[in-house]
């Protein structure tokens, strides 16, 4: 039976047909990440979802080509950015939210369970006294079922843990930005073996999203190229995922999913940028404080993961 948050989100999807909003996707080849700008045509108010800060791990150097493309689009469209939304603390790319905030404004927001991630990884990285572990690095912490607006477009926050404890999906009009919870149908679903991850929770989160109306549009945070496909795509529907998702289509039981996910996760290598990404993203995209020589450092724990 649908929970109340999903029921309200489903009603929002059904009512969204007359709403006019635009979605612009930005694909980052280096991390296979898709960032989005969503804006209300009537008010020109906007949100940026899951932005990317370019990072060269060999040189320890950041750059802003990906974020500058977002800025150029926002300025060309005459948009005002109210929100810089994160679906979770990413392990595969660094967030550009503070850079975008400096250039465009807006509040940096994530789910309230980021505090669990901060406590887990704050300990792993031996974060200093400047790191509060209470979510205060972010401007807004969402609870499951929270509602807000981008201009006149309603947004509902869904807590969808499993990949990490803090994953959120954002239902914006008739579109859902699912973060890393699921991928395109031919690629399946997210891993669940990071600290605080749980394959059983992930299955329940997937089914929660898939209880939305069949025509609901789903927008991925990543796309990869499975065998047989040579072009990147990132939009599908609830109906397509329910029919064709290779890991979680209708008929797959929770126990079957958990067994598949746990066996698969054991075989996966760690993301290339997990060490720098988590340290930065748990701080809302900010780098650790400079040390006494004025240089900021990212740590690599040895034999600890």
| pLDDT, position 210 | 98
pLDDT for residue 18 is more than 80: no
Average confidence (pLDDT) over 139-155: 98
Architecture in CATH for domain 4-275: 4-Layer Sandwich (3.60)
DSSP 18: G
Neighbours of 142 (CB within 10 A): 25
Residue percentage of the chain with pLDDT more than 90 = 94
Q: What are phi and psi of 17, to 5 degrees?
A: -60, -35
pLDDT tens digit sequence for 232-281: 999 999 999 999 999 999 999 999 999 999 999 999 999 999 999 999 99
Alpha helices in 23-155 (DSSP H): 65-77, 97-104, 114-124
Dump pLDDT digits (tens) for 81-136. Answer: 999 999 999 999 999 999 999 999 999 999 999 999 999 999 999 997 778 899 99
- Tens-place pLDDT, residues 152-175: 999 999 999 999 999 999 999 999
Which range has the worst mean pLDDT, 2-6, 151-155, 161-165, 281-285?
2-6
Neighbouring CB atoms inside 10 A of 213's CB total: 16
Statement: residue 1 has pLDDT above 50: no
Identify the helix (H) or strand (E) that includes residue 288: none
User: Where do the structural domains in the chain lie, given as residue ranges?
Assistant: 4-275
| Predicted local confidence at residue 304, as pLDDT | 84
């Amino acid at each position: 039976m649908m929970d109340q948050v999903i029921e309200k989100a489903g009603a929002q999807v059904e009512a969204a047909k007359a709403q006019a909003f635009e979605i612009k996707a930005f694909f980052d080849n280096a991390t296979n990440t898709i960032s989005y700008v969503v804006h209300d045509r009537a008010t020109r108010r906007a949100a940026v979802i899951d932005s990317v800060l370019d990072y060269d791990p060999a040189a320890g150097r950041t750059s802003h080509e990906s974020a500058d493309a977002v800025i150029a689009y926002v300025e060309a469209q005459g948009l005002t950015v109210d929100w810089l939304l994160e679906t979770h603390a990413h392990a595969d790319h660094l967030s550009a939210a503070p850079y975008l905030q400096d250039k465009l404004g807006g509040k940096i927001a994530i789910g309230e369970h980021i505090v669990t991630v901060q406590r887990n990884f704050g300990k792993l990285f031996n974060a200093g006294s400047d790191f509060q572990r209470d979510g205060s690095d972010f401007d807004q912490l969402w609870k499951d079922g929270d509602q807000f607006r981008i201009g006149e477009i309603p947004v509902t926050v869904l807590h969808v843990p499993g990949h990490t404890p803090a994953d959120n999906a954002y239902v914006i009009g008739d579109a859902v930005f699912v973060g890393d919870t699921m991928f395109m149908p031919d690629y399946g679903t997210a891993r669940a073996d990071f600290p605080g991850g749980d394959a059983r929770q992930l299955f329940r989160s997937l089914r929660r999203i898939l209880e939305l109306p069949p025509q609901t549009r789903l927008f991925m945070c990543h796309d990869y190229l499975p065998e047989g496909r040579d072009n990147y795509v990132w939009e599908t529907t609830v109906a397509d995922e329910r029919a064709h998702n290779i890991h979680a289509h209708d008929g797959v039981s929770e126990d079957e999913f958990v067994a598949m996910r746990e066996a698969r996760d054991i075989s996966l290598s760690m993301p290339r940028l997990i060490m720098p990404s988590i340290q930065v993203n748990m701080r809302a995209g900010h780098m650790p404080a400079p040390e006494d020589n004025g240089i900021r450092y990212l740590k690599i724990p040895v034999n600890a993961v």
